[in-house]
Amino acid sequence: MEFLPLFHNLRGSRVLVVGGGEIALRKSRLLADAGAVLRVVAPAIEPQLCALIDSSGGEQVLRGYEEADLQGCVLIIAATDDEPLNAQVSADAHRRCVPVNVVDAPALCSVIFPAIVDRSPLVIAVSSGGDAPVLARLIRAKLETWIPSTYGQLAGLAARFRAQVKGLFPDVQQRRAFWEDVFQGPIADRQLAGQGAEAERLLLAKINGEATLATGEVYLVGAGPGDPDLLTFRALRLMQQADVVLYDRLVAPAILELCRRDAERIYVGKRRADHAVPQDQINQQLVDLAKQGKRVVRLKGGDPFIFGRGGEEIEELAAHGIPFQVVPGITAASGCAAYAGIPLTHRDYAQSVRFVTGHLKDGTSNLPWSDLVAPAQTLVFYMGLVGLPIICEQLIRHGRSADTPAALIQQGTTTNQRVFTGTLGNLATLVAEHAVHAPTLVIVGEVVLLREKLAWFEGAQAEV
């Protein structure tokens, strides 16, 4: 190990930065965030750095570097493009036994800046010893996706009760077991869900030895339209910690594979007029599993609150007092339209967009057709494949031109995506001539004309 990782308390301490340009500014931002008082020495200092110096209570020295500038400083940063000057600063700092960092010159450094994941008070540092800083930054980027910002709040919760727990458990092994249980159980779940008051209540109950019922929780997670890369960070985190996953037909296999490997998986998918598990039974399953103390992910294609029956499910959970979280997903309309190169709104074509289900709860398509033919409006029909001929016919009958551009997107955002474009007058016929199957999305409006020049994601699709 070439460098020993240490965390330096700089709050209120003076740090010398030699250099007044962009590199010095980047380093100074980190130093200021850590509470350092900046002394910046350079013939010229850029305005943003001047403002940072002032806010830190530091000083600007508008001249060349002198060894006396090191006086009273606990850390030295050489951030100039003058190599001999940087070497001189390093030599002076080493002679005085003051830690020094020379930007992009590891051999001249006694300390180096790591790539930082800041979830204060939780801070994670990644370093390559100065040999591969780009690699360290890439690893930091991966950690950023795995560690939600609320982990800092969780660390803060622990800090507030650390002394109390230490008094309760004098033995270090007992304390470790206590905190491991906190960080891996419902207390951490509540804090990470942004429910700080409930997390604190549960932690106090645990400290006071109060028995609490082992109640589970349901996570209503939007899986997006198909591409796993469109999942949110929170969705992925909850999928990784769930004990049970109830998933729909529209959840892509690649997304399901991202769930915890040992989680129980229960298929509750539906097709038109073929509900393998009726909705009321799904609702009851969620309640029963949570009452068993299990963490349950209800994984839905698209967004659970846009034609996903998410409202019906959490109504049942709320009625039984079951804790739940809702994680929005990218709905099919925005995901499929984006991957097809069809903007849903555009100043020249559409100033509003309307999401419509192709069939209602009773299986009909009794829609407010007169409202759907308003000008400068994009229509997006979910579950409209079976009723496509009726949709096109009714829109034309109520005043929309048969020449209105229209598109149908099959398996949008996936490598199997296919896009069919035409008009209200011929789209149903066009689709009938090809082996089109669900999931599909229908877009009606002049914005479809933009696909020809905006399509960017083709994959393995066969476009007509």
Tell me if 147 is assigned to a ligand binding site: no
Active-site residue flag, 82: no
Q: Report the candidate in 191, 192, 304, 330 with the shortest Cα–Cα distance to residue 246.
A: 304
> CA angle at residue 106 from 39 to 127, to 5 degrees?
95
Does residue 225 have a known ligand-binding role?
yes
How big is the CA angle at 59 (ends 53 and 64), to the nearest 5 degrees?
A: 110
- Main-chain phi, psi angles of 109, to 5 degrees: -100, 145
Buried b (16+ CB within 10 A) or exposed e, 166-200: eeebeeeeeeeeeeeebeeebbbbbbbbeeeebbb
Of the candidates 328, 269, 276, 268, which has an alpha carbon nearest to the alpha carbon of residue 302? 328
Q: Is 44 annotated as a binding residue?
A: yes
The verdict on whether residue 23 carries a ligand-binding annotation is yes
Is 270 a catalytic site residue? Answer: yes
| Residue tagged active-site, from 27, 248, 294, 300 | 248
DSSP per residue over 327-357, as a string? E----HHHHHHHHHT--S-BTTTBSEEEEEE
Q: Are strands 405-410 and 377-382 parallel, antiparallel or unpaired?
A: unpaired
Q: What angle do CA 169, 170, 173 make, to 5 degrees?
A: 75
* 87 is annotated as contributing to ligand binding: no
Q: Tell whether residue 383 is among the known ligand binding residues.
A: yes
Check whether 145 is labelled as a binding-site residue: no
User: Hey, is 59 helix, strand or coil?
Assistant: strand
Question: Is position 115 annotated in a ligand binding site?
Answer: no
DSSP 415: T
Rg over alpha carbons for the chain, rounded to the nearest Å, is: 29
Q: Is 58 annotated as a binding residue?
A: no
Question: How far, in Å, CA of 460 to CA of 89, rounded?
Answer: 58
| Residue tagged active-site, from 82, 118, 270, 291 | 270
Would you say 350 and 344 are in contact if contact means Cβ atoms under 8 Å apart?
yes
Instruction: With CA atoms as reference, report the closest residue to 414 among 221, 145, 230.
Output: 230
Torsion of CA 441, 445, 446, 449, to 10 degrees: 20
Q: Name the residue among 328, 333, 303, 118 with its Cα closest to residue 232.
A: 328
- 43 assigned ligand-binding residue: yes
**Residues marked as catalytic:** 248, 270
Annotated binding site for S-adenosyl-L-methionine: 225, 301-303, 306, 331-332, 383, 412
Binding residues: 22-23, 43-44, 225, 301-303, 306, 331-332, 383, 412
